[in-house]
Structure 1
Amino acid sequence: MKQPLGVILAGGQARRMGGGDKALLPLAGRTMLDHVRDRLEPQVAGLALNANGDAARFAATGLPVLPDPVAGFVGPLAGVLAGLDWAAGQGGETIVTAAGDTPFFPEDLVPQLLLAAEGMAAPLALAATPGDNGKPQRHPTFGLWPVALRDDLRAALTGGLRKVVQWTDAHRAQTAIFPAQGLDPFFNVNTPEDLEHANRLLEGEI
């Protein structure tokens, strides 16, 4: 199988941050997007950004900017579909997605997702961490997605489906479990307080 392409999901509305682009917020002297890109880009064959609105605000990144193909901010599955359509045009077979507000995700995200989905005709896997109740806590914006299922996903979204795990469970998605001792690798920045915490982590104050 070809190395997956990567898609950073930054298409949300950031309501708890007061709106705007969380991915462009300053974090330890750079943007949060820079930190996310540094982790994902070495793991994939090419990289794009899922974001809505004026793409010019991301021009400095040099990345392709992919708007949701389904109107109305319907959630991360729309960003996944945007990535799958882009990958199809690149001749790709799979994509791996990462959230644009999660700067500490594992540097072995892609190989672990590939390992979890090994042997599947349409490789599909979500990242997870151990849950308090012994059941893995899935992180549905971090996944391996097959281009072969993009039309199925489009039909599901058109039909009103919005929950990631509802669609992934229907296709028997596998789970890649990552340790979460100490810092949760999937800690995401939702509030100004989260941003301050992330700054302190990156600057070695915690």
Structure 2
Amino acid sequence: MSNAPQTLANSAALDFLMSRRSRPAKTLVAPAPTRAQLLPLLTAAARTPDHGKLEPWRFVVIEKPAMARLAELTVQAGARLGKSEADIIKGRSQFDLGHLAVVVVEVQKDSVKIPTIEQSYSAGAVCLALLNAALAAGWGANWLSGWASHDRRFCQDAFGLQDRERVAGIIHIATQGTVPPERPRPDLSALTTWMPE
């Protein structure tokens, strides 16, 4: 019997990652996942690397009836911040067009061991994990933010964010309306440094 380490390849998962492609939010159509269909995707996202097991993130699920309220809050925030009409229209469009979205909220936790930047990285990783879980499950999905998601007052009014919380991303999930074309990908030779010694 060989004592060589076993390679636990998952070719289907690697094939998916090599070909994954976000679906533009404006191309998503009804239906969106039900709560029962969304829970496995949230479960997959919560398996993200989390140094210290701090769980420095939480989820706020925006269902269709809440979208109109968020669009109106975006208009109010835009007026308060002096945004242009074009910026306000663009900012509210993700809620005007949205069917379901998950706000990944970064929650900074006190820790003498885990730097805050690592907590931010974990929250960002949750966004990507949720996006990929939705795509792998056959849904269309897109990771957005937008200027309103960086405004403290908007985030408090819209999502109930507390001190030391901020939006890491807004993941829109619904049915894929159209297949987007492939886009240029990074040149790995220009981005990779090999250190043989």
Q: TM-score range by the shorter chain?
A: under 0.3
Give TM-score, length-normalised by structure 2: 0.27
TM-score norm. by structure 1 comes to 0.26
Structure with greater helix share of residues: 2
